[in-house]
Amino acid sequence: MAKLVSKDCKLCKDKRDCCCMNCFEVNQTNLFEALSIDQIESLILDKKQIHYKAGETIIKQNTSSTHVVCIKEGFAKVYVEGLKNKSLILSIITNMDVVTGGSMFNGNIRNYTISALTDVTCCLIDSSDLVELFSKNNDFAIRILQHHTKQNSLLLNKLVNLTQKYMPGRVADTLLYLKNNVFKQNPFILPITRQDMADLSNMTKESFVRILHEFKTSEFIRTEGHTIEILDEEALQSISKNG
């Protein structure tokens, strides 16, 4: 099984003009861990890294595309362009996060948009290459299925959280998500706007700001511009569970 660390790769790190096997650092999903070195090499043969500037669209909803996106550097948001010009942000991705098309095996029409929040470097892998490996390596196929079922669970969870919690619970969820799942450090600096945070929480930016203010006066959090520090995680957890 491949175990590679991208730090060791000068080409990718310094020049940023290729996508070599070292891109597939061992990460949360372990999606590529089941691949042999040869298979990883075949996957990334001739692949180029792509650079996006902050604000650029990487994948556009309702568009046909066969690419699996693997973020190498920077932050991007995955969101649904819903009704009445409202956006619903599903996740903030970074590092070695992989987004396999929600419809990778179903006509390839994407049902979400991915856009860069900061400058982003990422690999675009053609999903037909994945399907080929999928046939050859059963462990890898199971990894992909696991990845999808995990995605499914997250969606189900989001469905309940967004439909059955009051605003304070949803804001607490968003704050905890950002701290524990995206930035993984405590005072964290947001590359996203209040509007984005509201879109993560399914509410208007005004409502989001008001609740953020309450959390501040209750000393659950401390904010300074785009920096947020969570002071009382217990309290937020409890508000999240509320009702």
Residues that bind a second copy (CB under 8 A): 80, 82-84, 86, 88, 90, 101-106, 111-112, 131, 134-135, 138, 141-142, 144-146, 148-153, 155-160, 162-165, 202, 241, 243
Binding region for DNA (CB under 7 A) out of 20-28, 118-126, 177-185, 197-205: 197-205
Q: Which sign, positive or negative, has the C-alpha torsion 133, 139, 145, 148?
A: negative
104 is in the binding site of which of DNA, a second copy, none (Cβ under 5 to 8 A by kind)? a second copy
- To a second copy, the closest distance from the beta carbon of 175 in angstroms equals 18
Binding region for DNA (CB under 7 A) out of 36-44, 71-79, 108-116, 166-174: 166-174
In the bound state with a second copy, the residue whose beta carbon lies nearer, of 26 and 80, is 80
Please tell me whether residue 209 binds DNA under the rule CB under 7 A.
yes
11 is in the binding site of which of a second copy, DNA, none (Cβ under 5 to 8 A by kind)? none
- To DNA, the closest distance from the beta carbon of 161 in angstroms equals 11
* Ordered DSSP codes for the chain: -----GGG-HIIIII-----GGGS---SS-TTTTS-HHHHHHHHTT--EEEE-TT-EEE-TT-B--EEEEEEES-EEEEEE-STT-EEEEEEE-TT-EE--TTTTTTTB-SSEEEESS-EEEEEEEHHHHHHHHHH-HHHHHHHHHHHHHHHHHHHHHHHHHHHS-HHHHHHHHHHHIIIIII-SSSEE-SS-HHHHHHHHTS-HHHHHHHHHHHHHTTSEEEETTEEEES-HHHHHHHHH--
- To DNA, the closest distance from the beta carbon of 112 in angstroms equals 20
Please tell me whether residue 118 binds DNA under the rule CB under 7 A.
no
229 is in the binding site of which of DNA, a second copy, none (Cβ under 5 to 8 A by kind)? none
Q: Which residues in this chain contact DNA in the complex, by CB under 7 A?
A: 166-168, 193-195, 202-207, 209-210, 212-213, 223, 225-226
